[in-house]
Structure 1
Amino acid sequence: MPIPAKAFQRWLQGIAPDTSTADVCRISGIKRTTLAQQMVRGKISGTTVVSISRAFNINPVDALAVFDTFRALGDPPRPPSRAELVSQVSTPDLLRAVLARPALDPAGQPSAGRPTLSPTPHATSVKNWVEAIDDGELRHRVSAATGIAPQNYSAQLTANRLAPELAVATSLAAGVGPVGGLVASGLITEEEAGWPPDARQAALDSLSDGELTTLAGDRLLALGKALRRQEQDQEKTDKIWENLG
């Protein structure tokens, strides 16, 4: 569930006791109308808390942990698994990593230099993260714990987004550290999550040639299916416009 407005007001008063709401919005880059609407509804989004915490030099993870919905973020930190880290490597970066392996290069030589990984999140970061920690029953456990319908949960993954409270609930249901989903969804950065600067690269480098090639193949297969669906949808749209004249 979103953050209650009363709890948010108490938190805001604690970090900025002498700052007006207008100044808070200006400093954090939040529209006053957006915050006002959230206050009227009595539900504050995690994104709002993250924006304000950054503006006041507070780690967003620590800020979110103040609220009951995100209390698990205050537990002792747990390092991300290798599977989680690799899930946050984009498909183009994976393909470049394949070509950089000497055993997979026709000339038997590594590519010159090692390209820098693209920042998180990437186009399928949320879906890849869930798949990386899913034991086959994860979605059912998340649905039971949060009340979200499985189809609605899947729709968020397809759109490469995940509500902050669902991201944390997913981590808890999978038994992994609670910040992984927040990184995958782009709410917080790797640095804010406490991930080492080269953690994703190290995880990628630790994959064997076979593991890396298989993973890249799986990503390409998933990408091909998604592109084909888009093409079919576009073909249907074009036919509708043709029939309309």
Structure 2
Amino acid sequence: MPIPAKAFQRWLHGIAPDASTSDVCRAAGIKRSTLAQQLVRGKVAGATVVSVSRAYNINPVTALAGFDDFRQLAGPPLQPTRSELVSQISTADLLRALLLRGVAEPGGPGESGGGAAGVPLAGRPDPGPTVLVPPPHATSVRDWVEAIDDGELRHRVSTATGIAPQNYSAQLTANRLTPELALATALAAGVAASGGLVATGLITEAEAGWPPGARQAALDTMTDGELTTLAGERLQTLGRALRRQEHDQERTDKIWENLG
């Protein structure tokens, strides 16, 4: 979602009145040519505001909320739902959690004799420290939308934004959403506006106001059945994507072979 260049320059003058463009770019790790091009075009990327905010120790959410197109971010932050938190846990971390729990096969020790199957990890002995990979992960955008979709979400987003459903689906398949669509999706679902920006990688979970360890806490509340089902669904999706890639590669190889 581009920000008007004039609005950006007013904001920048307010936080760094004595800094030159070179100073700002150096502090934010942005190429001067990149910022110059955005200013000439009259549209500054939200990612630029985020980078500059971090350089000057300003919460990016607070900075973005000051611009009209991001005003949805203003006000006290809503907390993410359990499903949203779990959606931002990578497939590898879900599988690792299964191994740490030692989930038994049906009929095994965990299913009988007072075993722990079906009991959240929070109610068991500590299996040891784990470190979850921070979002975004390889399917974070698609998983976030699926976590908040009530079956009609895509239709509501399409109606509200005018984006064709197939174009919206294409972005999800590619695991990306523009900030505009991420905010529209959150609004249509009635969840925290910042959740989609975390899923897309524009801001971090801490910047969004998520409590420390919130994703791990959500993971710990999942039963073995919930965790196994979710991990299985993720693996099936990954398998389909890999098969498509392999099929496309085979077709490409055949084309090159025919071309000699």
TM-score normalised by length of structure 2: 0.89
Question: How many residue pairs are counted as aligned between the two chains?
Answer: 245
Counterpart for residue 113 of structure 2:
none
Counterpart for residue 175 of structure 2:
160
Q: Is the 8 A contact 2:154 2:165 kept in 1?
A: yes
Counterpart for residue 42 of structure 1:
42
TM-score normalised by length of structure 1: 0.95
Deviation of 1:102 after TM superposition, in Å, equals 4.2
Could you list the runs of 4 or more consecutive aligned residues of structure 1 that deviate by over 3 angstroms after TM superposition? 105-112
Counterpart for residue 147 of structure 1:
162
Q: What is the CA–CA distance in structure 2 between the aligned matches of 1:179 and 1:129, rounded to whole Å?
A: 12
Alignment deviations for residues 136-161 of structure 1 (CA, whole Å, 9 cap, x no partner): 11112112222222222222222222
Q: What is the CA–CA distance in structure 2 between the aligned matches of 1:55 and 1:174, rounded to whole Å?
A: 32
Q: Structure 1: any 5+ residue segments left out of the alignment?
A: none
Alignment deviations for residues 75-134 of structure 1 (CA, whole Å, 9 cap, x no partner): 221110000000000001111111222443777698952421111110000000001001
Q: Is the 8 A contact 2:38 2:44 kept in 1?
A: yes
Q: Provide the aligned C-alpha RMSD in A.
A: 1.7
Say whether 1:194 aligns with 2:209. yes
Counterpart for residue 54 of structure 1:
54
Matches for 1:195-210 after TM superposition, within 5 Å:
195-210=210-225
Match of 2:146 among 126, 131, 136: 131
Q: Is the 8 A contact 2:101 2:127 kept in 1?
A: no
Q: What is the CA–CA distance in structure 1 between the aligned matches of 2:216 and 2:89, rounded to whole Å?
A: 8
Q: Is the 8 A contact 1:24 1:52 kept in 2?
A: yes
Name the % identity. Answer: 75
- Computing the radius of gyration from Cα coordinates, the structure with the larger value is 2
**Residues 112 and 209 (structure 1 numbering): CA distance in 2 closer, same or farther, change over 3 Å?**
closer
Q: Structure 2: any 5+ residue segments left out of the alignment?
A: 111-115, 117-124
Match of 2:188 among 142, 148, 173: 173
Q: What is the CA–CA distance in structure 2 between the aligned matches of 1:49 and 1:90, rounded to whole Å?
A: 27
Between the two structures, name the one with larger relative contact order (CA 8 Å, sep ≥ 6): 2
Counterpart for residue 29 of structure 2:
29
Q: Is the 8 A contact 1:99 1:111 kept in 2?
A: no
